[in-house]
Amino acid sequence: MSGTGLITTERRGRVLLIGFNRADKRNAFTSTMLAELATAYTELERDPELWAGVVFAHGEHFTAGLDLAEVAPKIVDAGFPLPEGSTDPWGTQGLPRTKPVVVAVQGWVLTLGIELLLASDIRIAAEDSRFAQIEIKRGIYPFGGATIRFPQVAGWGNAMRWLLTGDEFDAAEALRIGLVQEVVAPGEQLDRAIELAERICEQAPLGVQATIGSARTAATEGEAAAIANLVPGLMKLMATDDAKEGVMSFVERRKASFTGR
């Protein structure tokens, strides 16, 4: 495991494990922690040998959200502080993410933690997870994408029920509204997230990225924009070595071996 700071990274085959490492403060995000997380996401994005990421937290809690005492003055002066040219884990600024991310949560999952879930692709929660979007209790509002993505994921009424009250909800409710895809026994969430990430890495990475890109285009630019690129995008994929390998594996009735080319 590398990294001695607030974010740890570990390579496991083609999966990059990214861990929050401020357990004594319930993994509340400082500006340094935000920057380190963006750096880890940038590593995932830029390294062709990495095909998927898993985000998790050391300790009992996923995150208590922002360390407002440390971060708030910097937001007032300079906005949301991320390194220039980095990949934004929340997908609201900077470079976009194209590779899949699976997130595993436990304990408290507050504010920015929920928004990180909403910005990822697959979410796994331990049964002891507790969620709350409490910005409204602090005189502000969610600025990491929840006002946009929460209604898309959960529907308007479900999203507003939690966004406008700041009330706490449990893992069963998170599953019901689609915030998470699976609920597992405490302690099993990271293993399950890694299992899913490794399953994704068995597929053709260019096809995986194209799938994410098409779905994101539909969500951000509309259905017509996504439809317009379906055939052109397919034509690009069909010219790749991986697509040829996919066809040959079908003909030869064997498991495909993809290279990302």
The set of catalytic residues is 115, 135
* Strand order through the sheet with 169-170: 108-110, 130-132, 169-170
> How many distinct helices (H) and strands (E) make up the chain?
11, 9
To which H or E segment does residue 161 belong? Answer: helix 156-163
Q: Please state whether 108 falls in left (phi above 0), alpha (psi between -120 and 50) or beta.
A: beta
Cβ proximity of 6 and 30 under 8 Å? yes
To which H or E segment does residue 155 belong? Answer: none
Paired strand residues for 123: 103
Which among 169, 199, 168, 171 has a CA at the least distance from the CA of 185? 171
* Residue type, position 128, single letter: D
> What's 28's DSSP letter?
P
